[in-house]
Amino acid sequence: MGGELKMEADSALAVPLWDRIPIVISFPETPKFAETHGFVGTQGLVWLEGQRLVPRDMPSDTVYIFMHPSSTLQLLPMPTALADAGLHVICAGSRYPKNDSALIMEKVCYDLSRYVKWAKEEAGYKKVILVGWSGGGSLSLFYQGQAENPTITHTPAGDEYDLTNAGMIPADGVIFIAAHMSRAETLTEFLDPSVRDEANPGDRDIELDIYDPACPNQPPYTPEFIARFRAAQIERNRRITHWVEDKLDALRAKDDGEVEFGFVVHRTRCDVRRLDPAIDPNGRAIGADPLREARSANTIPAGLARFSSLRSWLSQWSYDRSQAKGPMSAAKIARAPVLLIVNEADANVPATHGPAIFEALATPDKEMVSIEGATHYYFRQPEKMQACIDAVIGWSRRKGLLQ
């Protein structure tokens, strides 16, 4: 299947055609228990499915790998825009496609290592650049940090999963675009701190329930209230983590074959920034009915971290236990060049996240580019998308990563 032939808006130049080529990677792994349903990962083999976007008649020694912990990215605008620009792209799917309820970040990190290995050893690319877009940003940092300086031998739940002997190949460069610090840190900044009882989310502290019109604290919020709100969000994350650890300990003590437990985390899209644009300001738009929109996002079934297993919570969502937090991973990256691109009108990524990652990076070879007015997906912003592509290509060539 080829990419559609497109025309530039102000020229007669056609964008190069490209083909979608399926990638299937399998490797042996015998889990102590089945964390995924069905064939994949339960028969002693893990199967990964991805796509390679290859421009026709444009060979390259360089490939750009996109991976998100749980989403599939091959139909989103950024990977296809790079292919339109004549670059070779891999959209890598993890073992948890479109379902992060049991996701273990350490295993996703290993999944990404198999794509890097395949790109270098099977596809013949000499240069591999990780592109961490949106939720894939912290994964790219996590991978590169462990590939350069492997330290992990167990998951946060204490299950053995040794990345120090996994033979992970460091990428030749990392690009961080419109990306969160990490799943754990982002969720914590979005947790509704008014929830007092996880089993009864209707029991809420009106002082912190910013989506209730009766809340006495209204925007613009005072610095004191913001500090209280943020502290309460962290405390809620810790309460859940403590409950998860106690539940795991109880299951292990019983030792009757029951090893996991699924649970619901309610109200996970609550942020003072949604109602007060003066907090961590950027060019993000506030909706026409921000309170109604925010209340809906906070409670929808598809909300962030809505369904989780015990081990998955500790690995990807726990503020204190996750090993994949962005600044922690960035501090391990000492050799690879890193390009960080901030979309200044991004309503999905807090304005503080990009600069925090940039500051934490250990490598001296780092650059940050800001694109004024750019939204998260560049929706109906072809000129902003082009600015991003130009930044990617220009940086790649300056670093000797793209001929």
Encode pLDDT of 184-230 as tens digits.
999 999 999 999 999 999 999 999 999 999 999 999 999 999 999 99
Min mean pLDDT across 24-28, 41-45, 147-151, 333-337 is at 41-45
Last residue within a domain, chosen from 280, 297, 317: 317
In the numeric block, which tokens belong to residue 55?
Answer: 């421009």
Question: Is residue 191 domain-shared with residue 167, that is, in the same domain?
Answer: no
User: Does residue 10 sit within a domain?
Assistant: no
Question: Is residue 114 domain-shared with residue 210, that is, in the same domain?
Answer: no
pLDDT of residue 290: 82
- Is the predicted pLDDT of residue 160 greater than 70, yes or no? yes
User: Does residue 3 sit within a domain?
Assistant: no
User: Does residue 59 sit within a domain?
Assistant: yes
- Is the predicted pLDDT of residue 10 greater than 50, yes or no? no
- Is the predicted pLDDT of residue 16 greater than 70, yes or no? no
Per-residue buried b or exposed e for 83-95, using 16+ beta carbons within 10 Å of the residue's own CB: bbbebbbbbbbbb
User: Does residue 7 sit within a domain?
Assistant: no
- Residues 6 or more apart in contact with residue 382 via CB below 8 angstroms: 9
Question: Is residue 226 domain-shared with residue 342, that is, in the same domain?
Answer: no
Question: Is residue 168 domain-shared with residue 306, that is, in the same domain?
Answer: no
Instruction: Give the pLDDT confidence of 119-144 residue by residue, as tens digits.
Output: 999 999 999 999 999 999 999 999 99
- Is the predicted pLDDT of residue 109 greater than 70, yes or no? yes
- Is the predicted pLDDT of residue 11 greater than 50, yes or no? no
- Is the predicted pLDDT of residue 5 greater than 50, yes or no? no
- Is the predicted pLDDT of residue 3 greater than 60, yes or no? no
pLDDT of residue 15: 58
In whole numbers, what is the pLDDT of the chain averaged over residues? 93
CATH number of 65's domain:
3.40.50.1820
Question: Is residue 271 domain-shared with residue 364, that is, in the same domain?
Answer: no
Last residue within a domain, chosen from 317, 345, 366: 317
Question: Is residue 356 domain-shared with residue 260, that is, in the same domain?
Answer: no
Question: Is residue 97 domain-shared with residue 200, that is, in the same domain?
Answer: no
More confident residue, 304 or 39: 304
User: Does residue 258 sit within a domain?
Assistant: yes
Question: Is residue 215 domain-shared with residue 104, that is, in the same domain?
Answer: no
Residue range of the domain that includes 170: 18-182+323-398
Mean pLDDT of the region 335-341? 98
In the numeric block, which tokens belong to residue 345?
Answer: 């009108």
The CA distance from 61 to 127, in Å, is 6
Q: 160 — phi, psi (to 5°)? A: -65, 130
Neighbours of 17 (CB within 10 A): 17
User: Does residue 1 sit within a domain?
Assistant: no
Question: Is residue 60 domain-shared with residue 200, that is, in the same domain?
Answer: no
The CA distance from 371 to 389, in Å, is 11
Question: Is residue 79 domain-shared with residue 155, that is, in the same domain?
Answer: yes
- Is the predicted pLDDT of residue 9 greater than 80, yes or no? no
Assign 14 a pLDDT band (cuts: 50, 70, 90): low
The CA distance from 39 to 29, in Å, is 13
User: Does residue 378 sit within a domain?
Assistant: yes
- Number of domains observed in the structure of the chain: 2
pLDDT of residue 76: 86
Question: Is residue 173 domain-shared with residue 29, that is, in the same domain?
Answer: yes
Structure pTM? Answer: 0.93
Mean pLDDT of the region 295-300? 93
Instruction: Give the pLDDT confidence of 47-87 residue by residue, as tens digits.
Output: 999 999 999 999 999 999 999 999 988 888 899 999 999 99
Question: Is residue 389 domain-shared with residue 247, that is, in the same domain?
Answer: no
User: Does residue 303 sit within a domain?
Assistant: yes
Last residue within a domain, chosen from 272, 292, 317: 317
Neighbours of 296 (CB within 10 A): 13
